[in-house]
Amino acid sequence: MQTVYFDYNATTPVDERVVSAMLPYYLNVYGNPSNMNSAHGKEANRAYKRSLRTIADYFRIESTDGIILTSGATESNNLVIKSLVGSVKKPCRIITSKIEHDSVIKTLESLSDSVIIDYVENDGSGRINLADLESRITEDTVLVTIIGANNEIGTIQPIEEIAEIAHRHGVPFHCDATQLVPHRRIDLLAQNIDYVSMSGHKIYAPKGVGLLLCRDDRALNRITPQIVGGGQQNGYRSGTINVPGIVSLAEAVKLLDAEMESDNAICNELFGVFFRVLDAEGIPYRLNGDTMNRIEGNISISIEGLTSVQLLAALSEFSISTGSACSTGKESHVLRAIGCPKEVISGTIRIGYGRFSKREEIIALAEKLVGYYNRVYRNN
């Protein structure tokens, strides 16, 4: 049997339609969009501008100037955090949570000479405590940065409420929405989010492209370039513009616009089917994360009495993971931060699914898991 892919939170397959949209910009329109003296350059520039327009309309930001094309959410997170820290008198404070992706936590830790990091509490399902957030804001706070949906446990944060609290105290809000974008529409103007980070490879576009979205001029003006050189992207991020990359993002968001609902419906069906198989057999499991506020394509689960090493071996025909793909081998800081006991942390697996996942595939996974449990604990 071919290995079945269940690691969509680590990365999604690239949609063929995204590849088709990109191909002409490798094969025919390969000019440098910054060279407006050549016909090839002009045509590439038109594709770049068209893609910017599609992205600005989809995410609803004030102008296309607020789009910074990056190599992915890691770079976007670095860019916004380092900008905000660099733009004020020191020392300053940044509020975040203990369930952020490492690209936020490590960036903040690398700035520990100039930033005091305030970690807001969460409720044990990964939802942050809004009263605690508000109580931590001081006049030295320069940014609130909170993950939109967690990459390990799928919990979604109340981002509009967070934005409202931050703004009431005059503090900008950045949301690492890398895992939220595939499942929820994000509207920076209506939801009042100053900055959004995301990666193409979570929305069926390739790896190595992403965005930092700035809601308006005010947000953009706080950004200090971290990569300087030829002055592309209005100087905010130098380097020859990746035209196929931005075309892929524009195509991917068009597909989200049309298909997010059906993508989520597929995921909901798979979630239900998986747990029906486990429940029918009375398998003792624990689902991590919030039961209501969660992204559709994620199951973070531990089975009583089994370790994740055993589970990964028993389920080796399925590409699943133990937690975040970016920190394989380390104990999960997210599970620790939501108060999971040690045996749950060492027993957790993550199953990620999406647009191309099939009902029969998740049934096969669930049945395999049940069979393994029964062999180990019920001698059958």
Q: Contact residues for ligand PMP (CB under 6 A)?
A: 72-74, 101, 103, 147, 151, 176, 178-179, 199, 201, 210, 326
Q: How far is the CB of 89 from ligand PMP (least distance, A)?
A: 29
Helices 102-110 and 73-86, axial angle in degrees (round to 10): 30
Q: Is the CB of 12 or the CB of 74 nearer to ligand PMP?
A: 74
Distance CA 364, CA 262 (A): 22
Q: How far is the CB of 124 from ligand PMP (least distance, A)?
A: 20
Q: Which residue is nearest to ligand PMP (CB)?
A: 72
Work out the burial of residue 154: count CB atoms within 10 Å of its CB; fewer than 13 is exposed, 13-18 middle, 19 or more buried: buried
DSSP conformation class of 64: G
Q: Is the CB of 12 or the CB of 179 nearer to ligand PMP?
A: 179
Q: Is the CB of 67 or the CB of 137 nearer to ligand PMP?
A: 67
Distance CA 109, CA 83 (A): 15
Q: Which of 197, 198, 186, 243 is nearest to 223 (CA)?
A: 197
Residue 13, token pair as written in the block: 């397959």
Choosing from 92, 175, 267, 326, which is the catalytic residue?
326
Q: Is the CB of 190 or the CB of 326 nearer to ligand PMP?
A: 326
Distance CA 277, CA 279 (A): 6
Q: Is the CB of 101 or the CB of 215 nearer to ligand PMP?
A: 101
Which residues are within 8 A (CB) of 348 and not within 5 positions of it... i.e. 6 or more apart? 288, 300, 301, 302, 308, 322, 323, 332, 335, 340
Active-site residue flag, 340: no
Strands 141-147 and 173-176: parallel
Whether residue 78 contacts residue 216, with contact meaning beta carbons closer than 8 Å, is answered with: no
Q: Is the CB of 127 or the CB of 201 nearer to ligand PMP?
A: 201
Distance CA 164, CA 156 (A): 16
Q: How far is the CB of 297 from ligand PMP (least distance, A)?
A: 12
Q: How far is the CB of 110 from ligand PMP (least distance, A)?
A: 16
Q: How far is the CB of 102 from ligand PMP (least distance, A)?
A: 8
Which residues are within 8 A (CB) of 95 and not within 5 positions of it... i.e. 6 or more apart? 118, 119, 120, 133, 136, 137, 141, 143, 144, 145, 171
Q: How far is the CB of 314 from ligand PMP (least distance, A)?
A: 25
Which sequence positions are flagged as catalytic? 326
